[in-house]
Structures are given as structure tokens and as C-alpha cells.
A and B are shown apart, each in its own frame.
Chain A
Amino acid sequence: MPKKTPQDGPEGVEFTRNRLEVLIQALAYAAIDDFDYCMSLMRGDAEGDSFARLEMEFTDFLGKLVGAKTALNEALVRAEESNRELEAKLETIERQQAAIRELSTPIIEVWAGVLCLPVVGIVDSQRSAEMTETLLETIVAKQARTAIVDITGIEAMDTKTADHFIKMAKAVRLLGADCILSGINPSIAQTLTHIGVDLTGIRTLRNLRDALQFFLREQAASHLVKLQPLVESAQA
């Protein structure tokens, strides 16, 4: 079969028109991002005429377009991924910060009306101020009668911070609650006596267990006192 060219009369014109239509169709599909179908339309035999050069240029251009689009999509996916990662990290940091804030002054209501403040780690001046504030507020909010401050986990403390702890215990008494200090280690005991702080009215016990036992005994004793008049009146 002889090669058909645009100059080949009515039949040739018809052929070129078909190719043109294919080209337009391909362009239309390219415009709506359907590159796969577009490429399949253009996969015709290359003709040696000038129109074929246009087709080739178009196919070439299409290839570049597909490449650029793929790269763009990949970059978008990567950006989304790193964005998600960053958001996850931010969330972790926020969670950890919340945990740290919580951990710095965890006040546990171990019994009805009994608060326990276990102090661990490093206590500096700011943290002791924060602790005082939180403990006093919690005593009022929970209507606590006893607060146990356990400092077993504290190895060293500045004299002024130790002094502030004693002041905190005194402030607890001003609110009408008892403050028990437990777990004072030898070096902090030395610090406290060194600064000559007045310890009257402050109960100190060896450890948290002793402090809890002390509270339970007191509680039992006060119940007996309360029950006594009732028993007497019943006998009378």
C-alpha cells in the first residue's frame, strides 16, 4: 500500500482529518489528566510527513508533562508525609509536656481527706513555689484534713528550698489541715537543722508507710472519741 500524505486527494484529506481528530481527542484527555488513555491514542505508527512531526512533538511534550506530573505527585506525597510526621511529633511533645507538668506535682488522694504529695527528682526554687501553690489549692478544693509530703526521692535540697518546705507545712496548718513530712534523708535533715528552722507543730515520719499508718491510728482514735459519748448516752 502506497504511503498516504495530506496531498493525496480526498482519501488523504480524510486520513489526515482522522489523525487530527485523534490528536484533538488526545489533547482533550490530557486536559482532564487522563494521560494513560491519551498516550494510548497517540501510539500510532509514525508517519514520515510534516504532520507526523507535530504528532511526535506532541507525544514528546506529553511524556515530559507526565514526568513532571509524577514528580509533582511524589513531592506532594512526601510533603504530606513529613507534615504528618511533624504533626505527630508536635503531638508527642505536647503530650510529654503535659505529662511533665503533671509529674512535677502529682497530688494523690490516698484516702478520703488525705492527700499525698510524693516529691521526686530535682527540686529547685521554682518547683517548690509551684508545689506549695498546688498543694494549698488542692487541700481547699478537696477539703483535705491531712497532707503527707513524701520527700524520699530527694537527695539534696538548697537550704532556702528546705526552709520553704517547712513554710509550706505551716501554711497547710493555717488552712486547718495537718501536714506530715516523710522520708527526710540524712543530708536534708542536716540542712534543716543547719538553718535552725523552727520545727514545732510539724510531724515528721520515717517513710510514707509510717505516715499512712500514723494517719490511720489517728483516724481510729478519733472515731473512738466520737463513739464514746454515744455509747455513754445509750447506757444512761
Chain B
Amino acid sequence: MLELQDLHAYYGRSHVVQGISLRVGLGEGVGLVGHNGVGKTTTLRSIMGHGPRTQGMIAFEGRDLHSAPVHSRARRGLGFVPDAEAVFPEMTVEENIRAGALLRPRADQQHCLETAYQLFPVLAERRVQLAGTLSGGQQKMLALARGLALQPRLLMVDEPSEGLMPINIDLIAGALGRAVDSGVGVLVVDASFHLLKTVCSRLYVMKRGVITGEHQLTEFATPDQLVATYLKGEA
């Protein structure tokens, strides 16, 4: 459903992503792991369409995304939850979710709200609170809940577990896992072994702008085994 072929991404003259190819299918959870700074976030941003200058093929559901603006990629069913600053700070929790749902008819908007509150009840408790006053973890949950509630075909999530308490990591992992089960494609960048195991069946290892390996999650029984792949490179 999502396919990248020989993608290069540049920030100015900085060649951050140096030719990667990957694919994510319908109802498949795929992880992208690696050190900080290797280009994982840049890859996600390239797919979404904002930020770097790109070369190479990005195809979603068979169509090349190449020159489509960000908002039309979103409307084709591509969702993205960034790792930070993902909320509208001066809007309430409820307004934040609704802001994403505005493209749909009224009834659907209501449904989106309910879905989001079911996913993370803490959001329902704080529905009239300004999103900017939420804790970092709560903001991430809001962004993720909104992202999922909008029922994208493919959801890309950047570091969802970072900075979260284990109990919330569980919640998020569960939510993403259920999304995958229900047919949503998920491409997630994360370092949490538990989350990756719950959500993904496959993962790519990225190092210095290139993909150095593709693995099945079943290959790893412990976190150390996973970390070993991107610390040492290919065996």
C-alpha cells in the first residue's frame, strides 16, 4: 500500500536520507528503528510531504505522491502523528480532535470524538482543557487518538512511546495493535521493544541514512537482540 523506492531526502545540502526502499501493506504493522539522527523522522516527513526536498518514488495505494501537497496526501488517507508539537495549544482537547474531523459530515465528527475518548479515557476527562496545558504524554495521546479516530488507511507515528510512562505505553501499543488488526497500515518509528512487538510484524533497521536490514519481529525475543542489530550493523 505504501511503497518507497530509492528515496533520497535533502535538507539544503545535507543528504539525510540516502536511498531507501521500504513497503508497508494493508493491515500491516511495520517498525523503523535506528539511532537518533539517522533519518527516520526525515523519512516519515518525506512521505507526508513537508520538510525535505526528495528524490525517488513514494507511492501510496499505487499512486505516486510525488508532487501532492501535504493536505491532499492527508485526504487520501495518509495520517501522521509527529513526535512533538502535534496539538493546537490554544484549543481544547475536544476542539483539537474536531479540528481534524472537520472534513467529514457532522455525524462522523461526533463518531471521531467518541472513538478518541474510548481509546484514551483520560482525554474524555479533560475534554475542555486547553491542549497546551496538557502534559507531554497527554499531548502525545491526544495526537495519537486524533490520528486514529480519523481512520486513515495508513498511519505513520513518530516515537509514540518517548517520554511516556509504561502504563501509557501499554495503552498506546494496544491501540495501535488494534488498529493494525482492523486493517489500518501502521509505520512506526520507536525504540520501545514492547511496543514494536505488540504492533509490528516486520521492521527495518536504519543507519546513517540507509536501510541496513529488514527483520521479522519474531526473530527477537529480548530488547538486547533488537538493539544489537542497529548498534553493530549487519552481522
Physical interaction between A and B: no
Binding site for A on B (CB under 8 A): none
Binding site for B on A (CB under 8 A): none
